[in-house]
Chains A and B, each alone.
Chain A
Amino acid sequence: MERIERKVLAIAWLGVLVAALLPAQSALATWASENCHGDDWSRQTWKRSQADDYAMRAVGEGYEFGGGCYRLNGYDDTPGLPTDGGGEGADCSGFTFKTWALPMSGANGFHFWEHEKNVHGPYSTWAYYDPAPSYPFRSIGKTYAATVYMDALVERHSSFGHVALIHQEGSAGSDYIVHARNNTMGTELRYLPYRGDPDFKAVAREAWTAECFPSRCN
């Protein structure tokens, strides 16, 4: 009898504990944890044009420091949230990671991340600015002749860094840029003079699938 009473008491305490914790769990839930259920999978191919389409679909959406999840509806779902408050959007390095379909580890192959997948990837702006030999991207020259669309322009300072993708090449040191800009402007398309800014270096993903694939490329 005494054993049963103890069991009942224990279950009652457990119930109280669960009841007490439930509101706390609810308070910890973020927009991202409730809305980001995207999938991901390995791919054999990934073309610049596919990456460009992927990037441009996110224009108008939000920005989230350390984030990676988009709900594609043409606006920032969490404009008033702090920049690392679990809201919508990637940050610039996460946006580049997803657009380039980089694998989480290793240099080879492609990995597709749905926009709704909340993933940032392992690469910081430092990594893009000064890539290790094992990374699947490398520094290149930044003249117009040296770059192709979906290459990136990256800057790194002591307190911040930024990496942005070339959507369409322009002139006079400017280009149409698609990037996860910041919490104010979100993910945007702009004509910006990054190329002509000496703080910026150019970096290119390696091993893009040829645009002509699977046809025979001349």
Chain B
Amino acid sequence: MGVGRSPKRLLVSGIAAGLAIGAAVGASTLTGASSGGPDGPRPVVLHVARVLADADEDLSLTAGLFCPGADASACDVSSATAHVLSSGSEGWTDVDGVTDDGGYRFVVPGRLVPDDGLSYWLEFGIEGGDAVRFPDGGADTPFRVVTTAGLRDVSWPGGSVDFEHPRASDSTVTRLEYGDETSQVGRVGGVGDEQPLGPSSFDVGPEGAIFVADWIHQRVMVLSARGRFRRALPLPTRRPVDVAIGQQGELAVTSLGLGATAFELASDGRAVGRYRVPTGVVERISLTPDGPFVWTGPSQWAPVRSRAGVALPAQAQSRNLAAAVPGRDGAVALSQELPGRRVAFVWARPDASRAGVVLQLPPGVQAGVDYFVRGLPDGGAIAARGLWSESGSAVALLRFAADGSIVVADVIAPPTQEMDAASSTVRFRAPDEALVAYGDEHGFRIERFEVKG
């Protein structure tokens, strides 16, 4: 509870926030209600999926089960097993999980991690019930792990990260005031124990236009590439936490948390698909040539429909989890933290060959939020990745040449913490820009950083 605040101020701020929130949202249950529904209650597997691993090194996996609602008995785990199939081998090897920090830890021995990687899926035995497989398809649809074998090792230039002196932006694309006018965005909280929350995410259209998800007013603001307000699209969901734009300017939005709902929208905002997402804890959405994928956990993207307007059932969503989804242009790229203060970036060159680097970070610096990795026509890539230490944080803007060498390694100030889709606060804009959202009690703005070689 806050200290030193007058009852009158409390009352005024509380009523104001309550009226705004109550009128616009009233949707707390979206973040935590039962993940049941047409598909019935399902235990939620909380897993940090691995996409990349070091060959011949032990691979540590963690996972836990959460049973929303009253049916906690569905989470009485009697056994926890990771089933591992090393590439090139014949059969699956079982790795028993041990209880660790409230969940389970599976240590896959290095001998099961060959250069060509491995596949794995998790299985939880339930007391008196059916086992829980994750992904749902088990051995038919395992997670696929590739290794860093063959990737170029590079070190952070200069040997240290200067959190205190971030690079300035090249320009401010847009500034938006808080308020209820059509050209303003909403913001709540910021007093007492309530974290402030502004617009929850933004995305960039194929022509560079900017789309800001204003969940408080249940709309998406459409701005020109130069940041000028064009229009506001009303949305069919009360809590549009994340917005994604497709190749033809179509939109997708998703609500937040357990039991979320994703929507596919025409460019005029008309809903053309509504899909429940009973898998995982949702907070992002991506529009690919195969339709929307929803982020349901670290390195877990679930497809939500079979064709426009037709939802995939829960099991089919979980069966087809992808570790990294293609962008709207179909290109795949990914990034993952590795042990020893390293972070890997992998992308596809235009000739479809794989390129990638393993970046060694300076002492005391850890990899943070994965914002984006995008392959470039020259075979190189642009990436934005969070960095943090006990005392500072920043975003690294990186440009890699086709051979993996570092061309640019800039440090910029961390984006706003007031957007709920944290990894949607830094976006790529072709051909070579990062757009970054900043916000505080004075307003919301998007800054532009060129990442040129």
Q: Check A176 against B46 for contact (C-beta < 8 Å).
A: yes
User: A117 in the interface, Cβ–Cβ < 8 Å?
Assistant: no
Q: Check B14 against A84 for contact (C-beta < 8 Å).
A: yes
Contact with B along A141-171 (1 / 0, CB 8 A): 1110000111000000001111100011111
Q: How far is the CA of A150 from the CA of B102 in the complex (A)?
A: 9
Contact with B along A162-199 (1 / 0, CB 8 A): 11000111111110100011111111111111011111
Q: How far is the CA of A167 from the CA of B46 in the complex (A)?
A: 10
Minimal Cβ-Cβ distance residue in B for A182: B194
Q: Check A160 against B192 for contact (C-beta < 8 Å).
A: yes
User: A69 in the interface, Cβ–Cβ < 8 Å?
Assistant: no
Please, which residues of chain A bring their CB within 8 A of the CB of B196? 160
CB < 8 Å neighbour of A162 from B48, B195, B388: B195
Q: How far is the CA of A167 from the CA of B391 in the complex (A)?
A: 23
Please, which residues of chain B bring their CB within 8 A of the CB of A208? none
Please, which residues of chain A bring their CB within 8 A of the CB of B193? 65, 91-93, 125, 160-163, 180, 182
Please, which residues of chain B bring their CB within 8 A of the CB of A170? 48, 298
> Which A residues form the contact surface with B (CB < 8 A)?
48-49, 52-53, 56-57, 59-63, 65-66, 72, 74-76, 79-85, 91-94, 120, 124-126, 141-143, 148-150, 159-163, 167-174, 176, 180-193, 195-199
Minimal Cβ-Cβ distance residue in B for A62: B28
Please, which residues of chain B bring their CB within 8 A of the CB of A124? 1-3
Q: How far is the CA of A125 from the CA of B258 in the complex (A)?
A: 27
Q: Check A60 against B258 for contact (C-beta < 8 Å).
A: yes
User: B142 in the interface, Cβ–Cβ < 8 Å?
Assistant: no
Please, which residues of chain A bring their CB within 8 A of the CB of B19? 82
Please, which residues of chain A bring their CB within 8 A of the CB of B356? none
Q: Check A172 against B195 for contact (C-beta < 8 Å).
A: no
Q: Check A174 against B298 for contact (C-beta < 8 Å).
A: yes
Q: Check B366 against A196 for contact (C-beta < 8 Å).
A: yes
Q: Check A193 against B386 for contact (C-beta < 8 Å).
A: yes
Contact with A along B49-84 (1 / 0, CB 8 A): 000000000000010101011101000000000000
Q: Check B368 against A189 for contact (C-beta < 8 Å).
A: no
Q: Check A181 against B388 for contact (C-beta < 8 Å).
A: no
Q: How far is the CA of A184 from the CA of B281 in the complex (A)?
A: 17
Please, which residues of chain B bring their CB within 8 A of the CB of A190? 31, 257, 281, 283
Q: Check A196 against B393 for contact (C-beta < 8 Å).
A: yes
User: B352 in the interface, Cβ–Cβ < 8 Å?
Assistant: no
Interface centre among B19, B298, B370, B388 (most CB of A within 10 A): B388
Question: A84-B10, A190-B283 given as contacts; is B369 within 8 A of A76 (CB)?
Answer: no
CB < 8 Å neighbour of A184 from B188, B191, B386: B188
Please, which residues of chain A bring their CB within 8 A of the CB of B11? 84
Minimal Cβ-Cβ distance residue in A for B441: A159
Please, which residues of chain A bring their CB within 8 A of the CB of B30? 185
Chain B min CB distance to A146 (Å): 9
Within 8 A of A (CB), among B1-27: 1-3, 10-11, 14-15, 17-19, 21-22, 25-27
Please, which residues of chain B bring their CB within 8 A of the CB of A84? 10-11, 14
Chain B min CB distance to A95 (Å): 9
Q: Check B257 against A172 for contact (C-beta < 8 Å).
A: no
Within 8 A of A (CB), among B109-159: none
Question: A170-B48, A172-B337, A172-B367 given as contacts; is B17 within 8 A of A83 (CB)?
Answer: yes
Interface size on B, residues (CB 8 A): 71
User: B189 in the interface, Cβ–Cβ < 8 Å?
Assistant: yes
Please, which residues of chain B bring their CB within 8 A of the CB of A92? 193
Please, which residues of chain B bring their CB within 8 A of the CB of A199? 417
Please, which residues of chain A bring their CB within 8 A of the CB of B366? 143, 172-173, 196
CB < 8 Å neighbour of A193 from B32, B62, B191, B422: B422
Please, which residues of chain A bring their CB within 8 A of the CB of B337? 171-172
Q: Check B28 against A185 for contact (C-beta < 8 Å).
A: yes
Chain B min CB distance to A141 (Å): 7
Q: Check A159 against B190 for contact (C-beta < 8 Å).
A: yes
Q: How far is the CA of A85 from the CA of B197 in the complex (A)?
A: 20
CB < 8 Å neighbour of B33 from A60, A66, A85, A169: A60
Interface centre among A80, A183, A193 (most CB of B within 10 A): A183
Q: Check B28 against A197 for contact (C-beta < 8 Å).
A: no
Chain A min CB distance to B91 (Å): 29
Q: Check A187 against B32 for contact (C-beta < 8 Å).
A: yes
Minimal Cβ-Cβ distance residue in A for B366: A173
User: B326 in the interface, Cβ–Cβ < 8 Å?
Assistant: no
Q: Check A184 against B2 for contact (C-beta < 8 Å).
A: no
Minimal Cβ-Cβ distance residue in A for B13: A83
Within 8 A of A (CB), among B142-188: 163, 188
Question: A60-B258, A183-B21, A189-B257 given as contacts; is B28 within 8 A of A171 (CB)?
Answer: no
Question: A74-B70, A82-B17 given as contacts; is B195 within 8 A of A171 (CB)?
Answer: no
Question: A75-B29, A92-B193, A171-B298 given as contacts; is B388 within 8 A of A197 (CB)?
Answer: yes
User: B101 in the interface, Cβ–Cβ < 8 Å?
Assistant: yes
Q: 20 A-B pairs, CB-CB below 8 angstroms?
A: A60-B69, A62-B28, A63-B194, A65-B192, A79-B27, A79-B28, A82-B17, A83-B18, A91-B193, A141-B390, A148-B101, A159-B441, A160-B189, A173-B386, A173-B388, A186-B31, A186-B32, A193-B386, A197-B388, A197-B417
Q: How far is the CA of A66 from the CA of B64 in the complex (A)?
A: 31
CB < 8 Å neighbour of A168 from B64, B192, B283: B64
Q: How far is the CA of A75 from the CA of B386 in the complex (A)?
A: 34
Please, which residues of chain A bring their CB within 8 A of the CB of B2? 65, 124-125, 160-161
Q: Check B33 against A184 for contact (C-beta < 8 Å).
A: no
Chain A min CB distance to B389 (Å): 8
Q: Check A185 against B1 for contact (C-beta < 8 Å).
A: no
Please, which residues of chain A bring their CB within 8 A of the CB of B194? 63, 65, 83, 91, 160, 162, 182-183
Please, which residues of chain A bring their CB within 8 A of the CB of B404? none
